Copies of this chain bind each other. A is one copy, B any other.
Amino acid sequence: MKQKTTLKQLSKELNVSVSTVSKALNNSSEISTKTIKRVKELAKLYGYKPNPVAVSLKRNKTFTIGILIPDILNHFFAKVLHGIEEQASLKGYKIITCLTNESLDKEKEYLEMLEYNKVDGIIAALSKETQVKEDFSHFKNFKSLDKPLVLFDRITDEIDCDKVLVDDQKAAQDVFEYLKEQNRKNIAVVSTLPHLSVIVARLQGVMTSANQTSTNVKTLMISETKDAESKINDFFKNESFDALIGLDETAASIAINAAKHYQVKIPKDLAIVGFTDGLLAKNAYPKMSVVSQHAIELGKNTVKILLERIENKTLKPKRFIQPTTLIKRASSE
Contacts and interface: CB of A to CB of B under 8 A. Distances in A.
Interface of A: 15-17, 19-20, 30, 64, 72-73, 75, 78-79, 81-82, 85-86, 89, 94-99, 101, 106, 108-110, 112-113, 116-117, 137, 250, 253-254, 256-257, 260-261, 278-280, 283, 285
Contact of A89 (B64, B94, B106): B106
A254 B95 CA distance: 35
Copies of the protein in its oligomer? 2
Residue in A97, A106, A257 with the greatest tally of chain B CB atoms within 10 Å = A97
A72 B296 CA distance: 12
Given A73-B79, A85-B99, 8 more contacts: A16-B112, A17-B112, A19-B113, A20-B112, A64-B113, A82-B101, A96-B98, A257-B285
Contacts of A283: 250, 253-254, 257, 280
Contacts of A81: 72, 99
A257 B286 CA distance: 8
Nearest to A69: B97
B285 A260 contact: yes
A109 B93 CA distance: 11
B82 A30 contact: no
A95 B75 CA distance: 20
A96 B67 CA distance: 10
B101 A86 contact: yes
A78 B82 contact: no
Contact of A113 (B75, B94, B106): B94
Identify the 5 closest CB pairs spanning chains A and B, nearest first: A97-B97, A257-B285, A17-B109, A253-B283, A85-B99
Nearest to A17: B109
A19 B116 CA distance: 11
Contacts of A254: 283
A98 B65 CA distance: 11
Contacts of A250: 279, 283
A109 B17 CA distance: 6
Given A78-B73, A253-B283, A280-B279, A89 B101 contact: yes
Contacts of A113: 17, 19, 64, 94, 96
A17 B94 contact: no
B99 A99 contact: no
A152 to B, nearest CB: 16
Contacts of A96: 96-98, 113
B117 A94 contact: no
Given A279-B280, A285-B257, A110 B94 contact: yes
Contacts of A86: 101
A107 to B, nearest CB: 11
A82 B73 contact: yes
A115 to B, nearest CB: 9
